[in-house]
Amino acid sequence: MHACGLAVAILLLGGPVLASTPFGGDDTGFIPPDQGVFVCASKTQLLAAKLVVADTKCHIRLAAAGLDGNSEEGCTKAARAKFDHATGSVLGTGCPLCVVQNVNFTPIAKTIEEQLDAANGDVFCAGTTLLGDDDTGFVPPTTAAYRCEASVAKGLAALRYCLAKCHAKYAKSVMRGTPIDEEACESTDPLLSCRAKFDRVRDRVAGICPSCLDANAQNGLADGIEMDFDQTNDTFYCESPSGAFVER
């Protein structure tokens, strides 16, 4: 998975990065042309992944409320406010226009919240009592089901954050002229990859999960996240449609 817009050959620490060098493989996006663009792209993608983690905690709190009556009020708004403040600081330091547009004018935070709400039922899938509001899914019918679903939800959010770190490591390594194996970071290393970490969560809760969230279902959810993350990498590691630098 690979990152941001380029236009002229630039010599960076270990060798040249060519104009519009693609991330390559199954990743959209382009390698940043300089350190400033790299910091912008990597930080905003990591902040978006952190927002997923924060919103996931809100969804877990909502599921718990169905079990013990706790309130989830204000959780998502607080997560969004924190994201807006953090990205505002990054975007004000000379980010490419394409990143500013994708973060502020889409806006990416709203898209993330809507997607998580729509996909919530894929994890909180057991039970018959609807969670309600704009969230899909059901109140967990048992404490065991809740423990499983909450663990998987956290694991999937952590997977996104881990993938964002792999993208940053890969982009930086290419800029230095010493590219790392990005796929090993994401999925192929049997011990240290992002996917290996998620698989350990899957295996740890295997005995308490409802049938709708068995190993195959969890694998499918993780596969979908990896695919989506690769295909939307150019949201942050972006360039202009012409392939030239976007004005900053």
Q: Tell me, what's the pLDDT at 93?
A: 81
Residues in the chain: 248
Q: Which among 1, 63, 65, 70 is positioned nearest to 30, based on CA atoms?
A: 1
- Angstrom CA distances, 120 to 93, 129, 137, 145, 185, stand at 35, 14, 6, 15, 27
Q: Which residue has the higher pLDDT, 93 or 206?
A: 206
Give me the residue spans of the domains in the chain.
Answer: 10-235
Q: Are 49 and 156 in contact (CB under 8 A)?
A: no
Q: Mind listing the pLDDT tens digit for each residue in 100-130? A: 999 998 889 999 999 999 999 999 999 999 9
Q: What is the Cα–Cα distance from 37 to 239, expressed in whole angstroms?
A: 11
Q: Mind listing the pLDDT tens digit for each residue in 157-190? A: 999 999 999 999 999 999 999 999 999 999 999 9
**DSSP line for 76-134:** HHHHHHHHHHHHHHHHTTT--HHHHIIIIITTHHHHHHHHHHHHHHHHS-SSSSB--TT
Q: What is the Cα–Cα distance from 55 to 72, expressed in whole angstroms?
A: 11
Average pLDDT over every residue of 15-30 = 74
